[in-house]
Amino acid sequence: MHSKWFYRLTWAALALTFIVVLLGAYVRLSDAGLGCPDWPGCYGHLDVPSEAHQIVKANEAYPDRPLEAHKAWKEMVHRYFAGTLGLLVLGIAVLAWRNRHQPGQPVVLPSLLVGLVIFQALLGMWTVTWQLKPVVVMGHLLGGLATLSLLAWLALRQGRYGGDKVIAHARSLRVYAALGLVLLVGQIALGGWTSANYAALACPDFPACQAQWWPPTDFREAFTLWRGLGISYEGGVLSNDARVTIHLVHRLGAVVVLLYLGWLVWRLIVTESRMLQRAGIAIGVLLAFQLSLGIANVVMQLPLPVAVAHNGGAALLLLALVMLNHLVRPETVT
């Protein structure tokens, strides 16, 4: 195969990963994360039981979680797409090794992606078998976005975007771009922690929280990562004060990210590089979009389409930061 197929497959995997991330958010936010109480099948089937005798056996096997077909199908569709993505990433890695003697053919990153996808599958399994344990749910989200970011980096490297004209304006921006990426990842992790602990509506008003600027909080309880096994976290287990704490920290994180990325956007726009200027505008637009969706989630009481879009906006903003970091480090080896 020609290297163009490696390039095409990488872009296809990138697009599919974005879809998988959105499907994962949809499953989580529609309370379908335990729609199938086993893994990798669903009540012992590769699809959702539909025959009367199958449903009876399913409910007998899991009396504490009777079959809800609409939730089970949401979970299984997500698994089908994730499984297809795993096969696609494996194909990319195989193709990379077959073409490893070709100049410029990356091998290390495709191999790492295979390991990451396998770990993602384990996190998906633990999400179910450990009954929506928040640290696992958050890790599963971050793993999906890490897969998205690495595929984006791989695609950008193959496309040879950037060049000497960017490098001339970019060296002073490398640390700033990297810090922006780190801050955004931290904020996304906080968002995942907020969602996994059912704290998105702990502050139902904006900009105040429960009609106060700083209501009672409980940081110790809010950020306890491990609480042992055998606990179902569906619906959340934290007190009101702990959930409020998580929500407030996520809001504060949003302010930090807004201020820093806003400043970074300005730095990019005043450069003489058109590519960097365009990257700055893209980041600025996505930042405003994401902030609006976050506020809308609170004001509108977390409508499912807006909540899923908020996850999609985070993924797009992350891709924009990955693109920026690639532009200012075009000579990085993959």
**Other C-beta atoms within 10 Å of 292: how many?**
14
Question: Distance (Å, rounded) from C-alpha 112 to C-alpha 197?
Answer: 30
CA atoms within 13 A on the CB side of 87: 5
Q: Is 68 a catalytic residue?
A: no
Angle between helices 304-328 and 174-196 (to 10 degrees): 160
Question: Distance (Å, rounded) from C-alpha 57 to C-alpha 288?
Answer: 50
- Write down the catalytic residue from 68, 75, 221, 272: 75
- What is the SS3 assignment for the chain? CCHHHHHHHHHHHHHHHHHHHHHHHHHHHCCCCCCCCCCCCECCECCCCCCHHHHHHHHHHCCCCCCCHHHHHHHHHHHHHHHHHHHHHHHHHHHHHHCCCCCCCCCHHHHHHHHHHHHHHHHHHHHHHCCCCHHHHHHHHHHHHHHHHHHHHHHHHHHCCCCHHHHHHHHHHHHHHHHHHHHHHHHHHHHHHHHHCCCCCCCCCCCCECCECCCCCCHHHHCCCCCCCCCCCCCCCCCHHHHHHHHHHHHHHHHHHHHHHHHHHHHHHCCCCHHHHHHHHHHHHHHHHHHHHHHHHHHCCCCHHHHHHHHHHHHHHHHHHHHHHHHHCCCCCC
Query: Active-site positions?
Result: 75
